[in-house]
Each structure stands twice: as structure tokens, then as C-alpha cells.
């Protein structure tokens, strides 16, 4: 476990047993991006990125984990923080990506570490809502 400052922050939007994968020109990834050097609050930066990219106002955000990761819109792998977003205001645009359940997650070209994290989030949501 570390409290190392991430280079990037990404949101895992979770709703109704599915997670959201953002469609990028280079593949599928998560909404989010660079955590600026002078920024001091990870969740606030993620809220801003989600607003800019998807037009949603995130409410409930929980830290989920961190590891080296390269989102398809990034050139290199960087230490990234991942945050589950359970509640938000607004609707995620349909053309921004895809809502994916555990059974269809393997159809997307994702790194194993991200796939495991997303499956973990999907398991937690199942327990949370049942």
C-alpha cells in the first residue's frame, strides 16, 4: 500500500451491474487523465475530468487502487489512481463509450490489471445492491 501521488486519475463509473468504458480513437479506456503537478485533491481533479469528458457531475467517489497503467490516449505507462464513481448527476452520452458487464468484459482489449480491477468493482456493486 502506498500514498504515492498518481500521475493520472481515472474514474470507474459503476451502475446496474455494469462499468463504463470510454471509446477513444486508440481503443477502450477509462474517463480521466493527467493529475496536474500543482493539483492537491485527486477526487476534485477527477470530478473536473468527468465533467469535461462526459458532462456529468460526480457525487460519490471512492478510492479503489493504484498501479502502473497506460490508458489508450496516453503515450506511456504512468502510475495511475483509480476511483469508483457510484453516483453522478447527468447522463453519460451514449456515443462516449459502452456499458459493460462482467460477462462481456473479456471482449475488450484491456490490460489484465485493469480487467481484474473492473471485475472487483463489479463484484462489489453486486454485493452493495443485493
Residue extents of the structural domains in the chain: 8-129
For CA atoms 106, 107, 112, 114, give the dihedral sign: negative
The predicted structure's pLDDT at residue 95? 95
For the chain, the residue count is: 130
| Cα separation, 33 vs 74, whole angstroms | 8
The predicted structure's pLDDT at residue 38? 78
Which homologous superfamily is 8-129 in? Nucleoside Triphosphate Pyrophosphohydrolase (3.90.79.10)
Q: Tens digits of per-residue pLDDT, 34-91? A: 988 878 889 999 999 999 999 999 988 998 889 999 999 888 999 999 999 999 999 9
Compute the mean pLDDT over every residue in the chain, rounded to the nearest whole number. 90
* Residue 17 pLDDT > 80: yes
* Residue 1 pLDDT > 70: no
b/e 41-74 (16+ beta carbons within 10 angstroms → b): ebbebbbebbeebbebebeebeebbbeebebeeb
| Cα separation, 71 vs 83, whole angstroms | 15
Could you give the C-alpha distances from 93 to 53, 56, 96, 115, 116, in angstroms and in order? 10, 9, 5, 23, 26
Model-level pTM? Answer: 0.90
The predicted structure's pLDDT at residue 124? 79
Q: For the chain, what is the total number of helices (H) and then of strands (E)? A: 2, 7
Amino acid at each position: 500500500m502506498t500514498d504515492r501521488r498518481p500521475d493520472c486519475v481515472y474514474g470507474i463509473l459503476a451502475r446496474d451491474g455494469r462499468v463504463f468504458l470510454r471509446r477513444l480513437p486508440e481503443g477502450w479506456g477509462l474517463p480521466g487523465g493527467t493529475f496536474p503537478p500543482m493539483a492537491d485533491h485527486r477526487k476534485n481533479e477527477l470530478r473536473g475530468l468527468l465533467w469535461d469528458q462526459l458532462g456529468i457531475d460526480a457525487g460519490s467517489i471512492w478510492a479503489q487502487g493504484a498501479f502502473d497503467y497506460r490508458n489508450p490516449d496516453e503515450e506511456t505507462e504512468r502510475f495511475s489512481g483509480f476511483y469508483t464513481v457510484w453516483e453522478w448527476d447527468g447522463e453519460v452520452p451514449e456515443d462516449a463509450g459502452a456499458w459493460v458487464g462482467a460477462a462481456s468484459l473479456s471482449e475488450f482489449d484491456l490490460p489484465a490489471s485493469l480487467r481484474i480491477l473492473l471485475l472487483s468493482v463489479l463484484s462489489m456493486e453486486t454485493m452493495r445492491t443485493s
